[in-house]
Amino acid sequence: MSAAAGRKRERGAGLFIVILVVAALAALGLSLLTLTSMGPKLAGGLRAQQEAFNAAEAGFEVARAAVEDHFAVGDWSSFSGHTLISPTGIDIPFTSGTANANYFRRLTDADIMALFDAGGDGTADVAPLVAFRQTFALDGSGATDARLVYTAFLIDDEAGGGTADPSDALLVVIGEIRQGSRTLASTRLEIGLSYQASGG
């Protein structure tokens, strides 16, 4: 083999290495472009989720105060009759060993809200609810901010079994961030409440 032929092969190998390096850099560049373009979307999603959580927390405080007021003024003497029992199975995990498809812990927030407003008209089709897509915040202009809403309801925590105790219930609050008729993000809180009559 001549020296000229050897140099040709070296140049061919060098060109191949340069092409591989350029291809690797192009792939890295595309990856970086994809990541940087996804950043704002991820940040927006996280911000919406945090706002939904804040809506659920604020809704919990308002709903808890409303429940306390019912007891304080004597409208309620227990949670009996004030917990949600419809749609059928919403409060009971199993019936005769079969899982209830409507049990609230098996449903997503969107599924629950669709059951509550089956007609899609913005009005609750089930009762009793503590609140349904209730607004609570003001926007920058001082008007009610329709984007931030919460829904609250009570569940009999012994409905699925155990000794009935009408002095306690589970308060479930779903906070939502909405844009028109669409829900952008939602968060659910479940908090146990108990009531003890004075002197008891």
Answer whether 116's CB lies under 8 Å from 151's CB: yes
pLDDT tens-digit map of 62-119? 999 999 999 999 899 999 999 999 888 899 888 888 888 889 999 999 999 999 998 8
- Tokens 């008209």 locate to 121
Domain encompassing residue 170: 55-194
**Number of domains within the chain:** 1
Q: What is the pLDDT of residue 8?
A: 56
Residue 24 is assigned to a structural domain of this protein: no
- Phi/psi for 72 (5° steps) reads -65, -40
* 28 within a domain of the structure (yes/no): no
Domain assignment present for 42: no
Predicted pLDDT at 132: 95
Q: Does the residue 200 lie in any domain?
A: no
pTM over 0.85? The answer is no
Give residue for tokens 């003024």.
73
In a domain, 12, yes or no: no
CA distance 100 to 87: 11
> What per-residue confidence (pLDDT) applies to 88?
87
Give the 3-state secondary structure percentages of the chain, helix then strand then coil, rounded to 5. Answer: 40, 20, 40
CA distance 127 to 85: 8
Residue 125 located in a structural domain: yes
Residue ranges in the chain modelled with pLDDT below 50: 200
50 located within any domain:
no
Instruction: Quote the pLDDT of residue 103.
Output: 92
Q: What confidence score (pLDDT) does residue 131 get?
A: 93
What pLDDT does residue 64 have?
A: 93
Those residues with Cβ within 8 angstroms of residue 156's Cβ, 6 or more apart along the chain or in another chain: 79, 83, 85, 91, 164, 169, 170
The per-residue pLDDT for 37 is 66
pLDDT value, residue 42: 57
Residue 130's contacts (CB-CB under 8 Å, 6 or more residues apart) are 63, 66, 67, 152, 153, 154, 171
What does the pLDDT read at residue 152? 96
Q: Could you give the CA distance from residue 97 to residue 91 in angstroms, rounded to a whole number? A: 15
Going edge to edge, which strands form the sheet with 131-135? 131-135, 148-155, 168-179, 182-194
What are the φ/ψ torsions at residue 11 (nearest 5 degrees)?
-65, -35
